[in-house]
Structure 1
Amino acid sequence: MSQRSRAARRLKTLWDDLRAGDPQAVHAARKLTRRAQAELRVADAGRKTERAWRGLRRAAAPLRDHDVAGGHLRDALAELGVPEDTLAYFDRTWAERRAALLARTDWPGRPPAFDLHSGWKGRARRLIEQDGRKLLRDGEATLAGSDPEQWHAWRKRLKRYRYTLNLLGEVPPVVVGTLEALGRLQDAEVVLGLLHADPDLLRYERDRLIAREEAARQEARARVRELFPALAEQLSRPAEQDGEKAGV
């Protein structure tokens, strides 16, 4: 028996707000593309559908990164006690930057849709086990170093594992917690990239903002390393246990 993709159904309800650039819709759509990625791995929906979802994810990425970075920067400015006129200037210029990004965004013409066909649960379980072994092996090497690209690549694979697990039931807290720490790490990398790329961006507070994000980066990495033993246990589990626990 086939069933319509949950990501596709949800995306359809967000479509108009997404194309208008609504921040909440952009955030939700970006998350849905990750769920769709997990669904597509078990759906055999074809290259055209896969390209459509990949294009949507890439279209939403600059806006979502802008919104996340802006949130962190504004929180940091408030913590640093900058004057109200500085906050107002930041709000105005950041909104202008977002408007320019939105004007350049090339959204797909319509929301992509696909179905999951009979046997997809078995395929999901096999992928969970394969992903778990690879994440465990690569995680030990990643966490031993500090290469931002390596950490980011491992995070993306863990997100895919998380959404594949979610197709069959609940996601274990250790997976969620690890991804939250990795998300803060990636946000810090994005903010630091912006600050280093543009010396004029918030130049009077720039040094303190860089110090804040560097500290957040270190704290996030430490948290991931702290969680890794429990995560490793989860990654080693047979996928059937997760399915049976969820009543699949």
Structure 2
Amino acid sequence: MRGRDAAGRHLQSALEALQAPAAEIQTFQLEWQQARDHTLADVAFPKLPPEMERPKRWKARVWEALTSDAEELQREASVVLTSENVDRWNEWRKHLKRYRYTLELLEDAPQPLLDVLEALGRMQDAQELLTREVWLPAYIAALIEWRGRRSTARRNRCGRNGPPWPSI
């Protein structure tokens, strides 16, 4: 659900950037909203789990895991940020999410981490939707090309200025 919401906004912006006719953008918005409503109607929310006891030294164990993950994430970053392999980006995003959720056991995640995760999520959502959705077939090739130009520009910025997430 979150993925579709994020991707919908992202793809609408892309269609506007490609100067798609207003009628087609409105059709996209309507069909996207209908698909969202249908998806939401099918969601069954489970009951919340009961509270559990924490093991001894749990905070120290969490910090150990965070330290290890931070080192791994930094090593992976130099490879991922220069890669065009979508699967590698998605795996790195999963690792960042695990780091975030582990950190949130102790404190709020820093905004730069949340921003990176949001951007990676939008990228993954758009990639998945562009390869499996059949709406607006005349724009799929242009959207993929537009995404490629944006990805190249982002990689070029990262190469000149260093990673966009120094405070993580």
TM range (shorter): 0.7 to 0.9
Residue 212 of structure 1 corresponds to which residue in structure 2?
A: 146
Cα separation, 2, equivalents of 1:101 and 1:206 = 23
Residue 203 of structure 1 corresponds to which residue in structure 2?
A: 137
What amino acid is the match of 1:216? R
**TM-superposed deviation, 1:137:** 3.1
Provide structure 2 residue ranges, at least 5 long, that are not aligned to the other structure. Answer: none
When the two structures are superposed, what TM-score results if normalisation uses the length of structure 2? 0.75
Report the CA distance shift for 1:185/1:213 in structure 2 as closer, same or farther (over 3 A): farther
**TM-superposed deviation, 1:124:** 1.5
Residue 163 of structure 2 corresponds to which residue in structure 1?
A: 227
Residue 133 of structure 1 corresponds to which residue in structure 2?
A: 71
Report the CA distance shift for 1:190/1:81 in structure 2 as closer, same or farther (over 3 A): same
Structure with bigger helix share is 1
Q: Find 1:124's aligned residue among 62, 79, 82.
A: 62
- Partner SS state of residue 163, structure 2: helix
Cα separation, 2, equivalents of 1:229 and 1:75 = 24
Report the CA distance shift for 1:103/1:224 in structure 2 as closer, same or farther (over 3 A): farther
Cα separation, 1, equivalents of 2:156 and 2:117 = 10
**TM-superposed deviation, 1:156:** 1.8
Percent identical: 30
Residue 19 of structure 2 corresponds to which residue in structure 1?
A: 81
Provide structure 1 residue ranges, at least 5 long, that are not aligned to the other structure. Answer: 1-62, 235-248
Using CA pairs under 8 Å that are at least 6 residues apart, name the structure with larger relative contact order, 1 or 2.
2
Alignment of 1:1-248 (within 5 A): 63-108=1-46, 110-115=47-52, 117=54, 119-169=57-107, 171=109, 176=112, 180-181=115-116, 183-198=118-133, 200-222=134-156, 226-227=162-163, 230=166
Cα separation, 1, equivalents of 2:105 and 2:59 = 8
- Partner SS state of residue 111, structure 1: coil
Aligned residues: 165
Q: Does the 8 A contact of 1:142 with 1:151 survive in 2?
A: yes
Report the CA distance shift for 1:82/1:76 in structure 2 as closer, same or farther (over 3 A): same
